[in-house]
Amino acid sequence: MSRKPIQTGTIILALVMAGLLAWFIVDNPTRNFLPSEPGMDNRGKGVASSVVVKIGEFFERFSEKENNLSESWPRFRGSNYDNIYSLPRKLASSFGGETGNILWSKKLGEGHAGAAIFEGKVYLLDYNEEERADVLHCWDLITGEELWRRWYKVPVKRNHGMSRTIPAVTTDFILSIGPRCHTMCLDRKTGDVLWTLDIEKEYESETPLWYTGQCPLIDNGIAIIATGGKALMVGIDCRTGQKLWEVPNPDGWKMSHSSILPYTFNGFKMYLYCAVGGLIAVGAEGPQTGKLLWKTPEWATNVIAPSPLAMPDGKIFLTAGYGAGSMIIQLKENNGTFSYTILQQYKPVSGLACEQQTPIFWNGKLFGIMPKDGGQNRNRFVCVDPSDCTKFLWTSEEARFGLGPYILADGKFYLLNDDGTLYIIDANTERFKILDSKPIIADGHDAWAPIAIADGYMLLRDANTMACISIGN
């Protein structure tokens, strides 16, 4: 019996397998795959075009109650976009007496949306699963009494939570973005709708993985939104809804979970934004308003939640989770022309990186929580000198904090662990020291929403519950 056909077949099969192996190595079809994480599987495909969403359709007022509080935490990362409470009010260094006791709490739809505070009122965009609706609530800060709500029906499939943004609030306006990019601008005093925008439909944008994480920005009465799709960024008059400018998007960069940072360098004010595709800077005043000043594809990652972090002398810190690590660029300007150089770039096992929260820059140092792929420093709270972010000045050692938020106030970090435990940590560049801790949310989990603070009151939440505590002395 001849064995040539068998031998020939074997040779052909071996050649085919070798070819497939070579293709896999060279082309790497898995290079764009994301790691399997809770919520990434079973991702919805979005709202069908046939679904009509009447943004802001319903309104109900419950009370005209007012209080005499005056402080505000009006947007994501506070008044100065740095997550630092800078008013002189004294805050607790330990829990005792009434400090840390829950004044009121609310059950919410599953999500990670944080609150804004404006002169004694709390504003939060929640997703109500029973009603299948985005709901913007207005509560009294002291009592938690609901003053009014505005909502609209929109189908949203659970994907490790739904709503996860913070409204922007000014004296005149409230601006919100829902999980599926439905945007509404309201009159703050009346709750009336001034205008609405369906970003998916208007700009043919793709809603980010795990839904919209971008917290909206109001700057001098103008809504600044990074849309992706047909435009990188747009500016809309809050009073009239008129589009004032938009930035073209020839590269097709997409909306990320990151939020826009206003930034001034060498007298040029700009809006920095980490898109899925790269970092952009858009002019924010004068004749350059709405013009792309510069961009770089050097910082491109598929999933990014932290915002750009501005440091002195034109240095910008960039970080993200899922293996992205961090980068510091040095911005330069010459007669209105911008360029940059990369000062540092490293993976999360090598230096400061953050997955959910944007780090805090204080006293010349950077503070943040390491991501779950941060090697031996996984989930530790750390401090580094930005001149070399791979050298830790200190870490929290045995204490690990998940992906929880933190805020700097009155010489202390207030840090919320994943399980709803609030830690008070000495703000120090030389050592790590826990001053006190207290469980705030019973059986808490996924406590990732940014913290808000005003008038000695602090708002904290996990995936399902928001609590207000007294933190003032």
Q: What is the largest CA-CA distance in the chain?
A: 100
pLDDT truncated to tens, each residue of the chain (473 aa)? 444 444 555 555 555 455 544 443 334 433 333 333 333 333 334 344 467 899 999 999 999 999 999 999 999 999 999 999 999 999 999 998 888 899 999 999 999 999 999 999 999 999 999 999 999 999 999 999 999 999 999 999 888 788 999 999 999 999 999 999 999 999 999 999 999 999 999 999 999 888 999 999 999 999 999 999 999 999 999 999 999 999 999 999 999 999 999 999 999 999 999 999 999 999 999 999 999 999 999 999 989 999 999 999 999 999 999 999 999 999 999 999 999 999 999 999 999 999 999 999 999 999 999 999 999 999 999 999 999 999 999 999 999 999 989 999 999 999 999 999 999 999 999 999 999 999 999 999 999 999 999 999 999 999 999 999 999 87
Question: In this structure, what is the dihedral angle of CA atoms 387, 390, 391, 393, given to the nearest 10 degrees?
Answer: 80
Whether 166 and 75 have beta carbons less than 8 Å apart is answered as yes
Whether 407 and 83 have beta carbons less than 8 Å apart is answered as yes
CA angle, corner 82, sides to 364 and 247, nearest 5? Answer: 115
Report which DSSP code applies to 16: H
Whether 218 and 168 have beta carbons less than 8 Å apart is answered as yes
Q: Domain spans of the chain? A: 51-470
How many residues in the chain? 473
Which tens digit of pLDDT belongs to each residue from 364-423? 999 999 999 999 999 999 999 999 999 999 999 999 999 989 999 999 999 999 999 999
The structural architecture, per CATH, of the domain 51-470 is 7 Propeller (2.130)
Q: In Å, how far are 128, 375, 411 from 389, measured between CA atoms?
A: 42, 15, 23
Looking at this protein, which amino acid is placed at residue 61? R
Q: 3-class SS at 10?
A: helix
260 Cβ contact partners less than 8 Å away, ≥ 6 residues apart: 214, 217, 224, 225, 226, 233, 271, 272, 273, 307
Whether 381 and 367 have beta carbons less than 8 Å apart is answered as yes
Whether 113 and 137 have beta carbons less than 8 Å apart is answered as no
Q: What is the CA radius of gyration of the chain?
A: 24
Question: In this structure, what is the dihedral angle of CA atoms 179, 182, 187, 189, given to the nearest 10 degrees?
Answer: -20
Could you tell me what percentage of the chain is helix, strand and coil, using 3-state DSSP and rounding each to the nearest 5? 10, 40, 50
Nearest in space to 349 (alpha carbons), one of 376, 374, 323, 320: 374
Q: In Å, how far are 66, 146, 426, 443, 457 from 471, measured between CA atoms?
A: 22, 22, 15, 21, 6
Whether 127 and 133 have beta carbons less than 8 Å apart is answered as yes
Which tens digit of pLDDT belongs to each residue from 314-342? 999 999 999 999 999 999 999 999 999 99
Whether 299 and 274 have beta carbons less than 8 Å apart is answered as yes
Edge-first strand listing for the sheet containing 457-461: 102-107, 465-470, 457-461, 452-454
- The pair phi, psi for residue 8, each rounded to 5°, is -60, -45
Nearest in space to 274 (alpha carbons), one of 285, 266, 263: 263
- 173-177 and 168-169: which strand pairing? antiparallel
242 Cβ contact partners less than 8 Å away, ≥ 6 residues apart: 236
- How is residue 7 written in tokens? 């031998």
pTM of the model: 0.89
Whether 224 and 217 have beta carbons less than 8 Å apart is answered as yes
Nearest in space to 213 (alpha carbons), one of 161, 283, 150: 161
Is 48 buried (19+), middle (13-18) or exposed (0-12) by CB count in 10 A?
Answer: exposed
Whether 263 and 279 have beta carbons less than 8 Å apart is answered as no
Name the strand (E) or helix (H) holding 92: none
Report which DSSP code applies to 4: H
Angstrom distance (rounded) from CA 265 to CA 260: 16
